[in-house]
Structure 1
Amino acid sequence: MSDTVQFDTALTFSLDGERFAIPVGHVHEIIDPLPVTRAPNADPFAPGLVNVRGAIAPFVDLRRRLGMGPAVVGETSRVLVLDLVVGGEPTKVAMLADDVDEITDTADTDLEALPELGVRWPTHLIRGVARKDSSLIIVLDVDAAFSPTPTQMLRA
């Protein structure tokens, strides 16, 4: 990983009390929580499907990929509908966030590599860490964080 990574405008959101960010260009919309239709034998990372305005989208559990406990839908919970490329195909993907914070600009100089010690998330899912105000924002590598695992690809 390089010391700085190109990263401009980002949407910040919370999971398990931590602030994360993804490029705002991947965000299609932010909506209230939706019912999830569980898919039989689905990988726990992508346990089901949601109906987003008539389009069926896979529902992913980013908390599971990051090694966090299960989400509890609360008053501030929101679903992020993301535009991603999965398996070479443009795909809408939905994920639950505990809270959506803000859209923020992050300069290259704000982004630092993860330290080798003290990180509880899989480092290959993280592009870097940005300092904003008095807090840290964990910037996700969207391709790594939302890509299917080899096991998921075999099930498809």
Structure 2
Amino acid sequence: MNTIVQASPVTEKSRQLVTVATPENAQYLTFLLGGEMFAVGILHVKEIIEFGNLTEIPMMPAFIRGVINLRGAVVPVIDLAARFAGEPSQPGKRTCIVIVEVQDGDLSHDVGIMVDAVSEVLEIPANEIEPPPSFGARIRADFIQGMGKVAGRFVILLNIHRVLSVDEIATLAGVATPGEGVAHRSGS
């Protein structure tokens, strides 16, 4: 059964997401996940939609919540909390799906990431970004692009290409990447 997700109506807040980032003007979409503030580069964000209408796919890892039909395209939805900590998040009133574009060689893929709540678009100057910690973070160090300093707090800037690595997710899910045949999983 196909499910259709309607994109949220264009609002002033969503118009702000369509700004162009330059090296001097690095903009990030911030969101909450398990009480922590995370951010992704605004150039990766395509849109933000309401959580719901997921079609679950059997025998997938817990971090793959399912797929949505986004204007005729099948888009996988990744639960970032489960991807980072292994525990699936519980949807709430402000839970939404951020549609991001991920490059895989010459191909680009749309992937939805489930977050607790979207906060705002922030401009973080390059001199306010520290390198990722080598230890002590609750997520893999290679998932962190840097630590942005904003109003006396750190915002974890995600390396979206590592977090949503198409090859790694396909390997973990036991399926082939697009264009290849489906790999069969033996035993579970």
TM over 0.5: yes
Give the drift of 1:154.
5.3
Q: Which amino acid aligns with 2:80?
A: L
Tell me the alpha carbon deviations over residues 96-122 of structure 1, each in whole angstroms, 9 at most, x when there is no partner: 110101101111111101233422211
Counterpart of 2:123 in structure 1 is 105
Find 2:51's aligned residue among 33, 36, 57: 33
User: Which structure has the larger Rg?
Assistant: 2
Distance 1:55 1:34 in 2: 16
Counterpart of 2:141 in structure 1 is 123
In structure 2, stretches of 5+ residues that fail to align are: 1-22, 177-188
Find 1:21's aligned residue among 39, 54, 69: 39
User: Higher strand fraction: Structure 1 or Structure 2?
Assistant: 1
Deviates more, 1:61-70 or 1:146-155: 146-155
Distance 2:112 2:171 in 1: 20
In structure 1, stretches of 5+ residues that fail to align are: 1-5
Name the CA shift for 1:153/1:34 in 2 (closer, same or farther; >3 Å). closer
Counterpart of 1:90 in structure 2 is 108
Distance 1:138 1:68 in 2: 18
Which residues of 2 match residues 1-156 of structure 1 at below 5 A? 8-67=26-85, 69-86=87-104, 88-148=106-166, 149=168, 151-152=171-172, 155-156=175-176
Distance 2:92 2:61 in 1: 24
Give the drift of 1:133.
0.7
Q: Secondary structure at the match of 1:64?
A: helix
Q: Secondary structure at the match of 1:37?
A: coil
Distance 2:88 2:59 in 1: 18
Q: Contact conserved, 2:135 with 2:141, CA < 8 A, in 1? A: no
Identity of aligned residues (%): 28
Count of residue pairs brought into register by the alignment: 151
TM-score by length of 2: 0.73
TM-score by length of 1: 0.86
Give the drift of 1:79.
1.0
User: Would you identify which runs of 4 or more consecutive aligned residues in structure 1 move more than 6 Å?
Assistant: none
